[in-house]
Structure 1
C-alpha cells in the first residue's frame, strides 16, 4: 500500500502528474474536497472522544445524566450545516463538470475514439485517416514488448484536442490517468470532451468500465509530440493506406439519428 504512493506528491493529492490544461483545476477541487472532509471528520471524532471522556461514568453511585427527547437548536444545527455543505460541494462539482465537458471552442485536432471488445479505433476526423487497434496478443502470452503492440494515438503538444467517444458493442470508458478525467463510451450515444495538451511524452490509457472477459487487456497509449512530428506521423498513417474513417457500419448497435448529428460533420 505504501509503495503505491511512490512517485506521487502531497501537493497534488497523490494524483498522477497532469499533462493537460484542466489538470490543475481538478487537483484543486480534489484537494479542497479532502480538506473539507478531514475537517468534518476531525470535528466529529473530537466531539465523540470529548463525550466519552467528559461524560464517562466515574463511580457506581453516579446518576444517569438528564434524559431529553430532543434539542431543537442542536437538531437545526446538524440539519442545516450538512445541507449547506452538500449544496456547496454540488455547486462546485457542477461548475467543474461544465468546465471539463465544454466543447464550444474550436479544436485543433478531433479524434473519434471508438471502443470495441477489446481494443480501440482512432478516427482522425480532419486528417481523414485512422488507426485500428487489436488486442495485444503478448498480454495473454506473458511476453515482453506489449507497448509495441498497443494502438497508439498521436497528438500534437500545446493543442486543443476534442475526443468524440462512441462504442461498437458494449459500454467502455476512455481513461488516460494523467489527463485526470475519463468519460464513458455508450452504445448508440455520442459523448465528447476536450483537453489541451501541455507536455510531450508517452502516456498509458485503458478502459475503466468492466466490459467483458478481456477488459483488463483493453489498453492503449497516447503519444504527445511536437507539431512537426505529428504532421509526419499523420502522413505515415496515410502512406500506409489507412485513409478514410472506420464508420458506423461496424457497430453492433448503430447510433440513433439524433446521435449521428452529434458526430463531426466529416463523419456524418
Structure 2
C-alpha cells in the first residue's frame, strides 16, 4: 500500500531526525571509548608517552591534523559557498555555459598541493631522522629477537638473556604476568637492536609512540630514553602467522637498582650469557660486534 505524498513528507523529517540522533549517539560513544582507551582530545587521542621522543611524535601528529582540518574546512567552505551562490535558477538554461580553462587557477591548485605535501614531508623526515638517530652512545643495549610467536631478550650490556614462550590467552585475570617481560632502566638511553628468527615481525610499545620492523637477516636499531616508571604493553605489529595476536610482551621501566637486580636474578637462574643465532633461518649480520654472542644457548 502506497502512502499519500503528504504522509511521506510528514514522516521524512522524523526519520531524518532519528537518523541524525542515532549517528550522534554512535559517534559520542565511539569518541568516549577512544578517549578512554587512547588519551585526551588535546593529545590527539594518542597514548600518554613514556619517552623523550613521544613529545616529538605528538607534535607532528597534532600539527598534521590541524593542517588537514584547516585545509578541509577551507575546501568544504568554498564548496558550500559555490553551491549556495551559484544555485541553479528556474530561468537558467538547461545546460551550463561551457567555459574555457582558467590557467592561473589551474596553476594555483596544482602548486598549492605540491607545496603542502612538501611541508609535510619536511617535518616528517626531520622528526623521523631524530627518532631513529643512534649516534649517541647508549647506556643500555638490548637485543630483542622476534620469533613465532614470542620474544627473546638479550641484555647485551648486562650479559644475560631471557627466552619467552607463546602467550596462553585464557581470558582469565593474571595472564599478563605470564607474558615475556623486558626490563629497562628509567632516564637511561636504551638502544634496541631488533632481529627476527623466522619471518618479519614488528616491535611495538604503544607508549613509545613509535615502532620498528624486525626483518630476518637485518639488524634494525632505535633508541629511547624512558621518562616514566611503569609497566607497558608490547606486541607484534606485523601479521606474522596464525598466532600473531598472541605475540605479546610486557615492558617494565624501573629504577636502575631494580634493573640491576633483574639482571642479577637472571644470572642466578642460569641465564647468564646471550642467546646465539644458531637457530636462525637466515644468518644475521651484526652491525655491532657485541650484538650477539654464541655464549649461552
TM-score band by shorter chain is over 0.9
What is the RMSD computed on CA atoms of the aligned residues? 1.3
Q: What count of residue pairs does the alignment treat as equivalent? A: 261
Query: Does residue 1:156 correspond to 2:185, yes or no?
Result: yes
Q: Which residue of 2 aligns with 1:120?
A: 151
For residues 95-147 of structure 1, give each alpha carbon's deviation from its aligned partner in whole angstroms, at most 9, with x where no partner exists.
1110010000010110000000000001000111001100122x1x3343211
Give the TM-score of the pair, scaled to structure 1: 0.94
CA apart distance, 1:265: 2.2
In the other structure, the counterpart of 1:49 is 80
Per-residue CA deviation, residues 51-103 of structure 1 (Å, 9 max, x unaligned), is: 111111121x2135542231111111101111111111111111111001000
Work out whether 1:182 is the aligned partner of 2:219. Answer: no
Q: Kindly state the Cα deviation for residue 4 of structure 1 after the two structures are TM-superposed.
A: 2.3
Decide which moves more: 200-209 or 241-250: 241-250
Preserved CA contact (<8 Å) 2:34 2:45: no
Query: Which is bigger in relative contact order (C-alpha 8 A, separation at least 6)?
Result: 1
Instruction: Output one character per residue of 1:184-233: Cα deviation in whole Å (capped at 9) or x when no partner.
Output: 00011110000001000000000000000100110000001111111111
Specify the SS of the correspondent of 2:278.
Answer: helix
User: Contact 1:164–1:263 at 8 Å: present in 2 too?
Assistant: no
Q: Provide the rounded CA distance (Å) in 2 between the counterparts of 1:128 and 1:88.
A: 45
Residue correspondence of structure 1 range 34-113 to structure 2 within 5 A: 34-59=65-90, 61-63=91-93, 64-113=95-144
Indicate which of 238, 241, 260 corresponds to 1:209. 238
Pair 1:267 & 2:292 matched: yes
Which consecutive segments of 4 or more residues in structure 1 shift more than 4 A? none
Measure the CA separation in 2 of the matches of 1:162 and 1:230. 15
- Report if the CA contact (8 A) 1:119-1:134 is conserved: yes
Quote how far apart the aligned CAs of 1:266 are. 5.0
Structure 2: unaligned runs, 5 residues or longer:
1-29
Aligned partner of 2:3 in structure 1 is none
Larger Rg: 2
Cα 1:266–1:215, aligned 2, differ >3 Å: closer, same or farther?
Answer: closer
Q: CA deviation at 1:10?
A: 1.9
